[in-house]
Amino acid sequence: MQASAITSAPSPSQRIDAHIAELGDWRGETLAHVRGLIRQAIPDVVEEWKWRGVPVWYRDGMICTGETYRNAVKLTFAKGAALTDPSGLFNAGLDGNARRAIDLHQGDALDEEAFRALLRAAVALNRSKTRQPSGSRRS
């Protein structure tokens, strides 16, 4: 009997790396850049690969997705409507009840400090939603 080689599926981070490389243009550069900012702001962020090819970042719940389109890189914050955005980074999905997005187009500049602050606020919101007041019971 021959031993078969065990192959493991690529990790979500490896899939995101491959996606960035496949794009090979400004969208890949932009996605790589925002991914780096996400990792700076949230060093213990968890990366996932969902919905047939969308990078998703989690920390105590979903933070945001990183979709790529022909003319934009869209960063959709799952609970963006509940976040304060004093720098006005959100520029898409402004009418939604839950989500808000940042659409980045070729040549757009991103306020990196404001973006990192928004990411940290999203994690803080996730944490506040997962904690229950002391003495409370779950049914």
Q: What's the pLDDT score for residue 131? A: 65
Q: What's the pLDDT score for residue 127? A: 94
The CA distance from 105 to 26, in Å, is 9
Q: What's the pLDDT score for residue 139? A: 38
The CA distance from 31 to 36, in Å, is 9
Q: Taking a C-beta distance cutoff of 8 angstroms, is the pair 46, 38 a contact? A: no
Q: What's the pLDDT score for residue 135? A: 46
pLDDT tens track, the chain, 139 positions = 555 556 788 899 999 999 999 999 999 999 999 999 999 999 999 999 998 889 999 999 999 999 999 999 999 999 999 999 999 999 998 888 999 999 999 999 999 999 999 999 999 999 997 765 554 444 3
Ordered alpha helix ranges (H), 24-111: 26-41
Q: What's the pLDDT score for residue 12? A: 93
Q: State the CATH architecture for 12-126.
A: Alpha-Beta Complex (3.90)
What's the order of all strands across the beta sheet hosting 100-104?
46-50, 54-58, 62-68, 73-77, 100-104
Q: What's the pLDDT score for residue 23? A: 95
- Stated pTM of the model: 0.85
Q: In the chain, where are the structural domains located?
A: 12-126
Pairing of β 54-58 and β 73-77 = unpaired
